[in-house]
Amino acid sequence: MAISYRNMQAFVCVAESATFAEAAEKLHLTQPALSSAIKKMEEQLGGKLFSRSTRRVSLTPEGETLFPTAKRLLNDWDEAFQDMQNLFAMNQGKLTIAAMPSFAESCLPGILKRFHGMHPNIRLRVLDVVMEATITSVLSGEAEIGFTFEPELKDGLIYHPLFVDDFIAVVYPEHSLAQEAEVSLQAVLSYPFVAMNRGSAVRRWTEEAAEGRGALNIVTETGQLGSVGQFIAQGMGVSVVPELCRAQMKSKGLVCLPLKEKPLSKSVGLIQHTRGSLSVAADAFWKHCAATFS
Amino acid sequence: MAISYRNMQAFVCVAESATFAEAAEKLHLTQPALSSAIKKMEEQLGGKLFSRSTRRVSLTPEGETLFPTAKRLLNDWDEAFQDMQNLFAMNQGKLTIAAMPSFAESCLPGILKRFHGMHPNIRLRVLDVVMEATITSVLSGEAEIGFTFEPELKDGLIYHPLFVDDFIAVVYPEHSLAQEAEVSLQAVLSYPFVAMNRGSAVRRWTEEAAEGRGALNIVTETGQLGSVGQFIAQGMGVSVVPELCRAQMKSKGLVCLPLKEKPLSKSVGLIQHTRGSLSVAADAFWKHCAATFS
DNA sequence: CGATCTTACGGGATTCGTAAACATA
DNA sequence: TATGTTTACGAATCCCGTAAGATCG
């Protein structure tokens, strides 16, 4: 029993025309159809909207008050409609991506550049936070997609592996291991060690891998892998970091060495939350990543 | 091909419900009907609005962005609809009435009081201006209805007579005519005369009536009938004014006398503009006046 | 297997178009 | 009389309801 969009459109069109016939043509309707549409609308509202003299049609005072409102309503309606179409067509919209720093500094820029080339009207936002915060922001919905190592607890998460990261040893150029082609984890651990803070996944995994291969001789702890590199460059020690950091470490003049027998292999991939679904933009991004690393 | 009000309503209702079935019940629809309505809407917009798992339905990110907009659109729509219904039912609205001062001071208050009693939600506005301005404001549309003497030029005006005003003589109590039951116009004109300014209808009509009955001996001219009364009260002269002013003159302690043979009879009535039509409130007011003076 | 959504299809209401009647300058 | 609106009525369309099918937990 509610008034329809089409009737409101008819009203505005007649109000902007001199005659019913003229308005009917604009609306691709016949005169009688338009006439009855207006008639129905008037019945619903409880009074006349137009004052009809056979020569010319004009708005009643009530129609006059409805007119600007009607135009605004139609405008808002169409605008909302088009916004949604654009959103689905990825002609507009925004996408928030969380990524752990090692990924954000290495792979992400290239991926984002290609994605932006494909969908230039999608505004991209990156949350460059530690692995735990990456997971948290995806769970909370702040980010739709996250890049992390495979989480231990996948409650409420979907994890999609992209590739495997084999951790590498990092030493300063003057170090005695620097000339080796590859080194054993045990050998690395025998030197003073620059570690991540307790609580970080890299630290925990390093300690797990070190079990039975000798105790860590930690000289410094820090919160970011970038800082780890800085301490190594100062000659304070050596470390074991994700391969993702290779370029970052090399740029600091450090030497990266593969570990014998790959004792630290961790899957790197995408996460999304299970409840709800991805936006079309996020879905496209997801597929883009999956294709890139396939 | 535009999206319908009903579909938008369906979308909001589903978004606010846990399942399609629940929403369908609220909308007094069956589940399949609602399902197809949402499906159609999704096709029109070009993407999914809901993420359906057979257990629970939830909004997609795109649906999430549409939701607040949709609620607002429906709200605005309903509000406009109800405003119009109220306007036609005279539960709201405003009415502007122009009236020449003599009428505004005499009859109008009583008329407005009764009309307001009948339609208490119509805001009334009175333009208390001279006769010429009354006509102008009706022609311009500033006022919908006006009270004046019958206009000479009725171009673009509809005039509806209400009653006939027989002008009266006004003298101060000590005047020699004050004791008469009625006086001739000629007798009045033989005394010093307080007149309206040139350009006013009362002045012109008085001069027309005075033709051949002796020249006006004008001692003072003023722009308002109220001032005319004040000058008479000061003993400066006598005058001839519309009967509408009787109460006003009496309240100043003046004596009002009918004129022999009614040489100045003027019709008082309502005017509206010809183009367009009256609002329901104005129409009701018009009918109310016609009935009151019938 | 139960709960829920989707598809298929028939009936009913709404809307549209054609033709004729009507109203006004 | 000419122009433009309304009424009448048949046809197409859209929307809804019932019943059966599909899907997920």
* Domain termination site, one of B41, B68, B88: B88
Between these two residues, A271 and A56, which has the higher pLDDT value?
A271
| Angle of the B31-45 helix axis to the A61-88 helix axis, nearest 10 | 80
* Domain termination site, one of B44, B67, B88: B88
Nearest 5°: the CA angle A163, A171, A262 is 35
Query: pLDDT confidence of A172, banded at 50, 70, 90?
Result: very high
Query: pLDDT confidence of B190, banded at 50, 70, 90?
Result: very high
Q: Are A186 and A209 found together in one domain? A: yes
Tokens of B5: 């009000």
Q: What is the mean pLDDT of residues A253-264?
A: 96
Tokens of A12: 């505005």
Q: What is the mean pLDDT of residues A230-237?
A: 96
Q: Are B218 and B150 found together in one domain? A: no
Contact B265, B166 (CB under 8 A): yes
Test B60 with A6 for CB contact under 8 angstroms.
no
CATH code (residue B35): 1.10.10.10
Q: Are B97 and B12 found together in one domain? A: no
Test A80 with B65 for CB contact under 8 angstroms.
no
pLDDT computed for residue B89 by the predictor: 96
Q: Are A215 and A72 found together in one domain? A: no
pLDDT computed for residue A275 by the predictor: 81
d(CA B274, CA B8): 42
Strand D reaches within 7 A of the A39 CB: yes
Distance between start and end Cα atoms, chain A: 55
Q: Are A71 and A153 found together in one domain? A: no
Task: Compare CB distances from B65 to A69, A70, A87 and report the shortest one's residue.
Answer: A87
Write out chain B residues lying below 8 Å of A279, CB-based.
60-62
pLDDT computed for residue B294 by the predictor: 86
The per-residue pLDDT of chain B, averaged, comes to 95
Tokens of B90: 């005279």
Report the domain count for chain A: 3
pLDDT tens sequence across B108-159: 999 999 999 999 999 999 999 999 999 999 999 999 999 999 999 888 899 9
Asked if residue B276 has pLDDT above 90, the reply is no
Q: What DSSP line would sit under B168-234, residue for residue?
A: EEEE-TTSGGGG-S-B-HHHHHTS-EEEEPTTSHHHHHHHHHHTTS----EEEEES-HHHHHHHHHT
Asked if residue A1 has pLDDT above 90, the reply is no
pLDDT computed for residue A55 by the predictor: 78
Write out chain B residues lying below 8 Å of A45, CB-based.
81, 84-85, 88
Residue of B nearest to A95 (CA): B61
Write out chain B residues lying below 8 Å of A66, CB-based.
80, 84
Q: Are B80 and B146 found together in one domain? A: no
Between these two residues, B76 and A156, which has the higher pLDDT value?
B76
Test A73 with B76 for CB contact under 8 angstroms.
yes
Q: How large is the C-alpha radius of gyration of chain B?
A: 32
Q: What are phi and psi of B195, to 5 degrees?
A: -115, 160
Q: Are B229 and B101 found together in one domain? A: no
Test B3 with A5 for CB contact under 8 angstroms.
yes
CA-to-C1' span, B2 to C15 (A): 15
Test A2 with B5 for CB contact under 8 angstroms.
yes
Strand C reaches within 7 A of the A140 CB: no
pLDDT tens sequence across B256-268: 999 999 999 999 9
Strand C reaches within 7 A of the A6 CB: yes
Q: Are A193 and A242 found together in one domain? A: yes
Q: What DSSP line would sit under chain B, residue for residue?
A: -PPPHHHHHHHHHHHTSSSHHHHHHHTT--HHHHHHHHHHHHHHHTS-SEEEETTEEEE-HHHHHHHHHHHHHHHHHHHHHHHHHHHHTTSS-EEEEEE-HHHHHTTHHHHHHHHHHH-TTSEEEEEE--HHHHHHHHHHTSSSEEEEEPPS--TTEEEEEEEEEE-EEEE-TTSGGGG-S-B-HHHHHTS-EEEEPTTSHHHHHHHHHHTTS----EEEEES-HHHHHHHHHTTS-BEEE-GGGHHHHHHTT-EEEEBTT-S-EEEEEEEEESSS---HHHHHHHHHHHHHT-
pLDDT computed for residue A200 by the predictor: 92
| Angle of the A31-45 helix axis to the A5-15 helix axis, nearest 10 | 110
Residue with tokens 């294709």: A291
Task: Suggest the residue from A84, A85, A125, A138 to mutate for an interface test with chain B (most B CBs closer than 10 A).
Answer: A84
Q: What is the mean pLDDT of residues A146-155?
A: 93
Tokens of B130: 């001279």
* Domain termination site, one of A65, A88, A111: A88
Distance between start and end Cα atoms, chain B: 55
Asked if residue A208 has pLDDT above 80, the reply is yes
Q: Are A276 and A145 found together in one domain? A: yes
Say which nucleotide is closest to residue A31, CA to C1' distance: D5
pLDDT computed for residue A154 by the predictor: 87
Q: Which amino acid type is present at position A15?
A: A
Least confident of A222-226, A241-245, B208-212, B232-236: B208-212
d(CA A50, CA A63): 6
Q: What is the mean pLDDT of residues A16-38?
A: 95
pLDDT tens sequence across B26-58: 999 999 999 999 999 999 999 999 998 877 889
Contact B282, B145 (CB under 8 A): yes
Test B58 with A2 for CB contact under 8 angstroms.
no
Strand C reaches within 7 A of the B288 CB: no
pLDDT computed for residue B3 by the predictor: 86
Asked if residue B212 has pLDDT above 90, the reply is no
Q: Are B181 and B158 found together in one domain? A: no
Q: Are B97 and B178 found together in one domain? A: no
Q: Are A173 and A234 found together in one domain? A: yes
Boundaries of domain holding A67? 5-88
pLDDT tens sequence across A38-85: 999 999 999 999 998 877 889 999 999 999 999 999 999 999 999 999
Distance from CA of A54 to the nearest CA of B (A): 13
Residue B269's CB: how many other CB atoms inside 10 A?
Answer: 22
Test A275 with B58 for CB contact under 8 angstroms.
yes
Q: What is the mean pLDDT of residues B218-239?
A: 95
Asked if residue B1 has pLDDT above 80, the reply is no
d(CA B110, CA B108): 5
pLDDT computed for residue B55 by the predictor: 79
Q: What is the mean pLDDT of residues B167-177?
A: 96
Residue of B nearest to A9 (CA): B2
pLDDT computed for residue A153 by the predictor: 86
Q: What are phi and psi of A77, to 5 degrees?
A: -60, -50
d(CA B179, CA B255): 9
pLDDT computed for residue B2 by the predictor: 81
Residue A8's CB: how many other CB atoms inside 10 A?
Answer: 22
pLDDT computed for residue A88 by the predictor: 96
pLDDT tens sequence across B53-100: 877 889 999 999 999 999 999 999 999 999 999 999 999 999 999 999
CATH code (residue B255): 3.40.190.10
d(CA B120, CA B91): 8
Strand D reaches within 7 A of the B2 CB: no
Query: pLDDT confidence of A219, banded at 50, 70, 90?
Result: very high
pLDDT tens sequence across A88-130: 999 999 999 999 999 999 999 999 999 999 999 999 999 999 9
Query: pLDDT confidence of A175, banded at 50, 70, 90?
Result: very high
